[in-house]
Chains A and B, each alone.
Chain A
Amino acid sequence: MPAVQETIDQVAQIDVDQYKYGFETILEMDMAPKGLSEDVIRFISAKKEEPEWMLEWRLDAYRRWLTMEEPDWARVSYPKIDFNDIYYYAAPKGQSGPKTLDDVDPEIRATYEKLGIPLAEQEILAGVQERRVAVDAVFDSVSVVTTFKEELAKAGVIFMSISEAIREHPELVKKYLASVVPVSDNYYSALNCAVFTDGSFVYVPEGVRCPMELSTYFRINAENTGQFERTLIVAEKGAYVSYLEGCTAPQRDENQLHAAVVELVALEDAEIKYSTVQNWYPGDSEGKGGIYNFVTKRGDCRGDRSKISWTQVETGSAITWKYPSCILRGDDSQGEFYSIAVSNGAQQIDSGTKMIHLGKRTKSRIISKGISAGRSQNTYRGRVSAHRKATDARNFTQCDSLLIGDQCGAHTVPYIEANNATAQFEHEATTSKISEDQLFYCMQRGIPEEEAIALIVNGFVKEVIQELPMEFAVEAQKLIGISLEGSVG
């Protein structure tokens, strides 16, 4: 069945030519020499005033990266990246670390205002804005400001840029950095370890429910730069935190690289919600320019009964290569992955998740909706595996794809590996299998099957998307109404 008109219109509204965030902020920049070498890494480390051990760690990662090969298994194609044609460090002059809001260059403040990101605390405190969200704003290679730090500190929550954390909480950073994504996990994670410039660090102590949403807003501004973000979130026993991430970039003809690593650690009974609205510049409708978004995101449910939930709304980037995953190590731990990926123009998306069941009675749920239009290619690639000791592991996976027009492609590549007889894995495209009970309940009340299915699936996604602050949720909300009519497995 072809896509319904309403859906076509909604997708057209977010077509690549409609990119609203393509403006550039003219600033004087402090750049590292172009290219990648040990000297550039020393330069970055010095700029960040990092301790010696951090520099050594970076250099070690760089040496390992040199021996690795670029992965080629994803269904994306692009010209070979010249890693020596990129600036690995770019910071607005006079900005080497977050200060108070007053010290932030007014141009940068204006940029964030234009993007709709609230940086001013007083306004929010005065109740002008409805929600209170602590923001860490990252501009090219540096974090320019982190809001609500004091209020968070009262609750014991550490929320700061990763560069600050390396200086102020080295013991925590040493303990957890690269403990989820090892340095040489893959080509881009190793590169990130060598040259990462900024990102957020969150530490929620035992039993604390983080009093507000935390968020990071990434902006690539300078030309020819790569942004290498590093985020580390640790939730101690019984802690809870919800974290949001948003990203945009100016419209440029050349491709820019974004290679991030995000690590989440959830200890006993802890819960982490991580939501992304990814809206990097996707290139124009001819496929010129755009961001290469090569990201490694992984959560480790290290403690029993811990829970990690990934939500992503992907509309930007020329090429996306991203698999937010959960390692379900603790007994009774849970992993979730909700994704809406929309590709348009000449975009290429190869995204999905991995749910690695190691502990007993671990549960995971994957709901993925891919929508491709224009001449784009949209691939869901996911792995669900049960280790031999993962007794009573449960997984439910559903991935729906929708094609608009006959020039695009939608692909599904799930890997299902069960090595425990008590594991129960379901990979479903036949939507009637969502939950017979819920479906029956809806249908009994006179809701037609198709609507009931849409209601239930959207319910899953909506539940998490409604947690997003309004500013980030605009794109997401537009997609929520998208009908499942005409979707294929």
Chain B
Amino acid sequence: MNIQAPIKHTAAEEDLFQLCEAARGAVSGSKDASEQRDAAIEQLRAQGLPTRRIESWHYTDLRAAMKHLSAPTDSRVPAPLLAGSKVLSADTSVAGVTISPWSADKAQFAPVESDDAIGQINTALATCGSIAAVKAGQTVDVPLSIENRGAHARNVVSLGEGASATIVESVCGKDGFSSDVTLISLAEGAKATYVSTCEKGPDAVQLGQLRVVLGKDAELDVVIFNAGGKLIRREVVVLVEGEGSNLDIKGVNLIGGDSHIDVTTVLSHTVPHTVSEQLFRNISTGKGQGVFQGQIKVHQIAQKTDAQMACNTLLLSDDAGFSAKPELEIFADDVICAHGATVAELDEDHLFYLRARGITERTARALLVEAFVDEAIEEIDNEPLVEALETRIGAWLEANG
């Protein structure tokens, strides 16, 4: 697919290029930043939106799925997930955290891979975001919240040596096309929890990406929560480049109505003695279509890597579907890597057990589904976070059960 005539652009692509032109004038930056943006726009023009022929977009044919692109009509900012959160914006101050006003130069635009459509779109369109740095040795007690106050946000958060913080990024809104890219780097010994929640309305398209660089002995817990939306894709790209670092990803995807929710993770273990664990629990009901693509790459020198990945899905309706691609790419011979993926309906035996004890079928099902999903998050070592997520899961199941 390398040599081809210029492609015929779809209506959505034409809309996208208009948005690009508008964004180009909206923010000023140094020559380098604008060159990066121009390069991204050029890539989009040359390739168009990705189709299922692009391997990393195999189950989410963006070109076919997106008919028209429009800006979101409501700019509502969600209530913070955790009580007492401080918003990372230039007009708040948090002890030990340097927050800078957003500018194209601080957004760390960089060359984008040819199959990284989210990177291209965000590089071309981002006009807002949070820029924050946690000082070395600083433990931030209050949860930090990232509010994306525009359709296309690009956030840059760094944690200095030994620093620790909890960061929550939430998106909501009923419609429109938006994107977010968040770059997080953890220096030696830093510890962080990053939570991404996406509760979009039935007409919304959200393309999100989290890019992480893990330093020596750094620890990062990532929690992904997706519920609702028309077309949601969330990518987690982690470069594990510090020995002794530890990554834990937990995810819950609640897919109902005619939502299409795609979570794609790419983990590169490039040094010895690192650990990663991923656990995803998904519910697909109504006409919901879910996708999980997980890629673990273990470089040749990354001996003693311990990488685990599990993705379990419950299909609750006849029209629901789920596709999974748990991929391993291993070049080192002394590693433990495992992946498991299951797709099934509720276990009849479990259901029978509960019903035999006088619980109605509806309640029994609800209990089992909730227990299945909650298992993904209950081990998170942050009580308020687990409670907040459980409340949202309960509400979603109530509405979609």
Contacts and interface: CB of A to CB of B under 8 A. Distances in A.
Interface of A: 1-3, 72-73, 388, 401, 403-430, 433, 486, 488-489
Nearest to B342: A426
Given A406-B333, A416-B323, A419-B321, A425 B341 contact: yes
B190 interface: no
A416 B333 contact: no
A425 B284 CA distance: 15
Contacts, number: 116
Contact of A411 (B330, B338, B345): B330
The listed residue with most B CB atoms (<10 A of its CB), out of A407, A414, A489, is: A489
A410 B336 CA distance: 12
A414 B315 contact: no
B226 to A, nearest CB: 19
What is the interface of chain B mostly: helix, strand, loop, or mixed? strand
Interface string B310-338: 00010111111111111111111111111
B286 to A, nearest CB: 11
Given A409-B331, A421-B318, A488-B335, A414 B325 contact: yes
Nearest 4 CB-CB pairings of A with B: A403-B333, A421-B315, A418-B343, A489-B338
A308 B199 CA distance: 46
A410 B324 CA distance: 20
Contact of B343 (A73, A416, A430): A416
B7 interface: no
B333 A3 contact: yes
A489 B337 contact: yes
B330 A421 contact: no
B76 to A, nearest CB: 34
Contact of B300 (A2, A406, A412, A486): A406
17 contacts: A1-B334, A403-B332, A406-B303, A408-B331, A411-B328, A411-B330, A414-B325, A416-B324, A416-B326, A416-B343, A417-B321, A424-B342, A425-B344, A427-B339, A427-B340, A433-B340, A489-B338
Given A420-B318, A421-B318, A414 B333 contact: no
A401 B336 CA distance: 11
A415 B303 CA distance: 27
Contacts of A427: 324, 326, 339-342
A489 B328 contact: yes
Contacts of B1: 72
Contact of B327 (A403, A406, A413): A413
Given A415-B323, A424-B343, A488 B328 contact: yes
Contact of A488 (B59, B315, B316, B330): B330
A73 B330 contact: no
Given A414-B341, A426-B341, 5 more contacts: A406-B300, A406-B331, A412-B326, A423-B344, A425-B343
A416 B327 contact: no
B337 A488 contact: yes
A406 B303 CA distance: 9
A355 to B, nearest CB: 13
B55 interface: yes
Contacts of A410: 328, 330
A445 B319 CA distance: 46
A223 B337 CA distance: 43
A386 to B, nearest CB: 8
A169 to B, nearest CB: 40
Nearest to A395: B343
A73 B338 contact: no
A78 B282 CA distance: 40
A412 B297 CA distance: 11
